[in-house]
Amino acid sequence: MTAAEAHDQPMSAAPARSEARLLVPALIFIALVVAAVASLGTPLITSVATTFHVSLDSAQWTLTIALLSGAVATPVLGRLGAGPHRRAAILATLAIVVAGSALTVLPLPFAWLLVGRAAQGVGLGLTALMMGVARDHLPKERSAATIALISVVSIIGAGVGYPLAALLAEFGGLRAAYGLGLLVTAIAFLTAWRSMPAAPEGRSAHVNVAGALLLAGGLLLVLFLAGERSLWSLHLAVAVTLAVAAVLLLCVWTASELRSATPLVDVRAVRHPAVAGANIAMFVGGSGMYLLLTLITRYAQTPHGAGYGFGLSTFVAGLVLIPFSVLGFVAGRLTPRVRRRIDGPLLLAGSAAIVGGGFVLFAAARSNLAELLVAMGVLGFGVGGFSAAMPGVILAVTPKSETSSAMSFNYVVRSVGYSLGSAIGGLVLAAGTGTGRLFPDEGAYTTAALVGVAAMAITTMTSLVLARRRSPETDPVAAPAG
């Protein structure tokens, strides 16, 4: 038996036989739960505003704060996931999510609801750790398929949580909807306790606290500026000052990471053409994908009095996401098989082109609900393929010990891209809203869709360039550390 075989043998047999059987569904279930729970804020914003007697802008923070805490926690958890205490980090994080879920259910003031939502958002950092567990403890081919599915369910989780939360809120009230989050997060914690194996021996990880604070500060400002669109129109000087501060913090963080012996993110590895190209594609593509998701759901809920739209209730609008989730899952299942014949960057390019096709459909045909459902299904299939192919492109040149860290950085890039997409959609629609009008002109949706087409064209071209310049894929186990 070779040294490599001897190394792989205990890793694949690390969990007990019953645990090994549970590991794959456990990893996928946990990734799905944390994504769905973080998205609970989306359909409940109006209910929060009326229940707690706060403005809609304030209620919007129940979604924003979860995304912020997730983006900040992800790189830290990614680094912890590279060390010997990965199982403890997973359980501790899920315990925080369960505690936060309890705060959202208890009859406490609005500030405590925000604390609970922030704690729930921390769970978003577990997605990269689930990928690290899969890569360490499953055979190579099975781990690749599992990682692809984890990536997909971390996105389509919103399509699962949205209609369920909206239905519970409609018939049982706000606390019932948040109670769903408490139930599933508690089950996720018990699942992790039962099935998560310990990290392989010989691992070490040290969290660069100064680097974590610098990155957290920069990300908080970036995501805050992306979410607070009114700040740019009402207080431009303040917005520009904060933007400059964010750039400075991120530049100082990058310089600090390059000098550190134990960086939070291996910035040198990020400079590898495959990793850099994939993250650029993720940033631009993520902006476009979230833009279309936002446009379709908002258009569907616009009342008929605006001259367009379908006036759907929150629950029915959530059902519009079902084609997105179903076809996204189908694409996630198909992608690992297709990748045996087609290189990862080419799959990224093809998936981005499919999402671009969804934008074209939305721009050209949205006069009836069936057309919106088709556009949402095309979006889901493209996003599913893109998300499933992305980990393979990055991990092909990433050593196993850095799986969680590399994918956590990609998640942060994705989060910033999503926030930018949401902000762009809001700005384009706001620019198309006449004075004294509540809803934008329908032409503003077409303009926003064309912006999305451009974003996906850039993503497609970036992926094609990556496919041409990249050297043949290396064995992820044997890949250099960068």
pLDDT of residue 482: 34
Q: How far apart are CA 416 and CA 412, in angstroms?
A: 6
The torsion angle over the Cα atoms of residues 322, 323, 324 and 327, rounded to 10 degrees, is 120
Residue numbers in the chain where pLDDT is lower than 70? 1-21, 41, 56-57, 158, 202, 204-205, 227, 229, 469-482
As given in the structure block, the two tokens for residue 210 are: 């100064």
pLDDT of residue 6: 42
- Given a contact cutoff of 8 angstroms between Cβ atoms, the answer to whether 248 and 419 are in contact is no
- Listed in sequence order, the residues at least 6 apart from 62 whose beta carbon sits closer than 8 Å to its beta carbon are 41, 44, 45, 48, 113, 114, 117
- φ and ψ of 307, to 5 deg: 95, 0
pLDDT of residue 319: 84
Residue 223's nearest CA partner among 170, 290, 150 is 290
In this prediction the pTM is 0.80
